[in-house]
Amino acid sequence: MKKKRAIKLVEEKLPKKRFEHSIRVAETAVKMAELFSGEADKVELAGILHDYSKYDDLALMYQQVTKYELDSELLAYNSEILHGPVAAAVMKHEHGIEDEEVLQAIFNHTTGSKQMTLTEKIIFVADYIEPGRKQPGVDDIRTMIFDEKKLDRAIYEISKRTVMYLLKNDKCIYPRTIECLNYYNLEK
Ligand SMILES: Nc1ncnc2c1ncn2[C@@H]1O[C@H](COP(=O)(O)OP(=O)(O)O)[C@@H](O)[C@H]1O
């Protein structure tokens, strides 16, 4: 899919603020691809499309989990974890995206995963640090990326913060994030 078509799809579907976030994720991802020798075209496309299903009706997303044979375990957790896998399936089956790296990056952008490709890593981090993000401590992650160039360390820190946030709020944690946390824990 061409960049222009992807932008049009997302602009027509998402609220303005979420559309702008998606563009900033794509821009941040392209900068990171330059820094880490990634593939700019892939991260740009994944960045534009990653939140495509973010505001889909929950009932529709449940149907898509069945239709596209996604892990039914996804339904037992916070509904936030659905939109990545659903968007990846929709892009593959309804919009003809074939590039597995782009699809995986969309799929795993919320939870992360163990053994991520460079494209997946970049989208996971870019989503967290794009310039519109204001979460406490986000500048530490920006420094880790743009000054220290420590991509895996940033992935660990983001996973750790997500897990701590979920625990603090008594939310269940989809295990893929725990696998990500353990895999990128460089102390092990
Ligand atoms: N492993 C997980 N289990 C359950 N919920 C999670 C998990 N990882 C992330 N979340 C939830 O998803 C939210 C973030 O979703 P994300 O897709 O990163 O946001 P955005 O769509 O704004 O980019 C977190 O605030 C958290 O509530």
73 CB within 6 A, ligand 1: no
Give the integer Cα–Cα distance in Å for 85 and 26. 18
Mutate to test the pocket of ligand 1, among 18, 71, 80 (most ligand atoms within 8 A of CB): 80
pLDDT tens for 67-114 read 999 999 999 888 899 999 999 999 999 999 999 999 999 999 999 999
Band (188; pLDDT cuts 50, 70, 90) = low
pLDDT of residue 78: 84
Spatial distance between the Cα atoms of 7 and 22, rounded to a whole number of angstroms: 9
Q: What angle do CA 92, 128, 64 make, to 5 degrees?
A: 30
The CATH superfamily assigned to 3-137 is Hypothetical protein af1432 (1.10.3210.10)
Cβ of 51 closer than 6 Å to ligand 1, yes or no, is yes
Return the domain boundaries, the chain. Answer: 3-137
Q: Residue 79 has what pLDDT?
A: 85
Residue 81 alpha carbon to ligand 1 centre in Å? 6
Going from the Cα of 159 to the center of ligand 1, the distance in angstroms, rounded, reads 10
Residue 49 and residue 6 in contact, taking contact as beta carbons nearer than 8 Å: yes
Q: Tell the burial category of 37 from Cβ atoms under 10 Å away from its Cβ (0-12, 13-18, 19+).
A: exposed
**Residue 111 CB less than 6 A away from ligand 1:** yes
User: Ligand 1 centroid to 172 CA: how many Å?
Assistant: 11
Distance 139 CA to ligand 1 centre (A): 19
- Of all residues in the chain, the percent with pLDDT exceeding 90 is 95
Q: State the ipTM, two decimals.
A: 0.91
99 three-state secondary structure? coil
Tell me, in angstroms, the distance from the centre of ligand 1 to residue 174's CA.
10
Overall pTM > 0.90: yes
